[in-house]
Amino acid sequence: MGCVCSNENAERDKNLREHKVLVLGTAGSGKSTIFKSLKETEGKEMIEPRMIVQTTWKIRQTLLEFMKWLIKHSQSLYETDKEKNIDCLIDETTEISTNIQSLMKTPEFVFTENEELSEEDLITLGKTIAYLWKLPSIQATFAKRIQFANEMNMEYFYERAIDIMHPKYFATKEDLLKARVRTTGQDFIYVFMYLFYIHKKVNCLLRLVDIGGLRHGQKTWIDHREDLSTVLFVVALNHYNCVLFEDNTKNAMHEALATFFLFLGTILFLNKRDLFREQLRKVPLSVCFRAVTNFEYVRNDREEEQWKGMNYNPKESEHEQHFERCYNQALEFIRNLFQSRQRGKIFSCYVTCATDQDNISRVFWDVTMLVGKNNLKDML
Ligand SMILES: Nc1nc2c(ncn2[C@@H]2O[C@H](COP(=O)(O)OP(=O)(O)OP(=O)(O)O)[C@@H](O)[C@H]2O)c(=O)[nH]1
Ligand SMILES: [Mg+2]
């Protein structure tokens, strides 16, 4: 593979034939993160300075907002079932109450261009958030929350709350990859590659287009069919245990399955494998693919769409090997489900971690070869 080009480079290479690749997937599946990883891998500036500042504000704001939500949610969880959720009840010590009051009185809109907290207040807020995050009742509430598909990597950011609320902090490369900034308009990048075909060097320019994954964005997917070389569909594996932001009665992986049939012959990225591994140790796949859940069925009538595989049990002897078997079975099950939606069309599947630039770089080498080869006739 050659390199990811900026827009100007693409302009310069006007002779190259462009191949359009639509990057689709439900909100929060990781499309923008793949773009960021790709740009960074090829030594380009991942994001311009303005975006670094905006992402810094966004991370701070999300930490504050979400902590407020956790505090309120701990109380409502407790009230819903006092016995079961006793671990969510926050102790009423003076220290805890003072910290909660201090957090609650800080408005979220202070993280903008015009409104900034004083340096002193920002540092205090960092300490407050770090303190509250460590409370066992907040940890219990966090573990029991309904997970929304578009959450950013909250644990990663909360662990660093003090650094993040320091006046000199700016989002690092890793933070930029792990933060969530929803795509509202259309985004695109170019990938340049060359292949050798019958001893001839063939140049190829891929134009990757991301049109956002929220439901109103999905409605426009089909309008982008024209001049399409292929579709790269991104599914977040950990979404088996998440609900949609737009509709919290809908499981996010069900939504992904329901939209996957739109384009046949798709390249599939089963993304967020790191988060999937973490989740699978705690929550079995049956929350998504069995009758005993609150979630509706994917396909009520089809037996094979119910998870009957092994669930991880840490009490097993040799539990790490046992976990690997559970993990592989779960992956295979999900892969087969998506394959079944492609009505026999050949499709390629990669298990990815979009925040891992090496992984994306390696996988993408394969993808560009695949797209290039499929379009060789056009290129020669
Ligand atoms: N840990 C981990 N986090 C990921 C991975 N891929 C994406 N994320 C995180 O998931 C969140 C959502 O990712 P995005 O790339 O913004 O999702 P998107 O598909 O572009 O979402 P829309 O723009 O709403 O369509 C971000 O906080 C990312 O950092 C992954 O493989 N591992
Ligand atoms: Mg996006």
Return the pLDDT at 297.
46
Contact call for residues 78 and 86 (beta carbons, < 8 A): yes
Q: Is there a binding annotation on residue 106?
A: no
Average pLDDT, the chain: 84
Residues 307 and 373 occupy one common structural domain: yes
Return the pLDDT at 2.
40
Which residue did the predictor score with more confidence, 237 or 115? Answer: 237
Average pLDDT over residues 281-293: 79
Residues 24 and 73 occupy one common structural domain: no
Amino acid present at 34: I
User: Is residue 153 in contact with ligand 1, taking CB distance under 6 Å?
Assistant: yes
Residues 199 and 309 occupy one common structural domain: yes
Mutate to test the pocket of ligand 1, among 38, 188, 355, 356 (most ligand atoms within 8 A of CB): 355
Look at residue 34 and tell me if it is in a domain.
no
Return the pLDDT at 48.
75
What domain range includes position 102?
49-178
User: Is residue 177 in contact with ligand 1, taking CB distance under 6 Å?
Assistant: yes
Residues 115 and 253 occupy one common structural domain: no
- Note the pLDDT tens digit of each residue in 173-182: 999 999 998 8
H-state helical runs in the chain? 7-12, 31-41, 49-80, 94-104, 119-133, 136-144, 154-158, 161-164, 173-178, 215-218, 252-260, 273-282, 286-289, 319-340, 357-374, 376-379
User: Is residue 31 in contact with ligand 1, taking CB distance under 6 Å?
Assistant: yes
Residues 366 and 265 occupy one common structural domain: yes
Amino acid present at 220: T
> CATH no. for residue 215?
3.40.50.300
User: Is residue 230 in contact with ligand 1, taking CB distance under 6 Å?
Assistant: no
Residues 149 and 195 occupy one common structural domain: no
Look at residue 42 and tell me if it is in a domain.
no
Q: Confidence band (pLDDT; 50, 70, 90) for 238?
A: very high
Q: 127, 155, 178 — which closes off a domain?
A: 178
Average pLDDT over residues 273-278: 96
- Note the pLDDT tens digit of each residue in 10-61: 454 555 667 889 999 988 999 999 998 888 766 556 567 888 999 999 999 9
Look at residue 103 and tell me if it is in a domain.
yes
Q: 130, 159, 178 — which closes off a domain?
A: 178
Query: Quick one: which ligand is closest to 213's CA?
Result: 1
d(CA 148, ligand 2 centre) in Å: 15
Return the pLDDT at 3.
43
Q: Whose CA is nearest to atom 30 of ligand 1?
A: 272
Looking at residue 146, what DSSP letter applies?
P
User: Is residue 29 in contact with ligand 1, taking CB distance under 6 Å?
Assistant: yes
- Note the pLDDT tens digit of each residue in 242-263: 998 788 888 899 889 888 877 7
370 CB burial (10 A radius; 0-12, 13-18, 19+): middle
> CATH no. for residue 119?
1.10.400.10
- CA torsion sign for 22, 215, 287, 83 is positive
Q: Is there a binding annotation on residue 145?
A: no
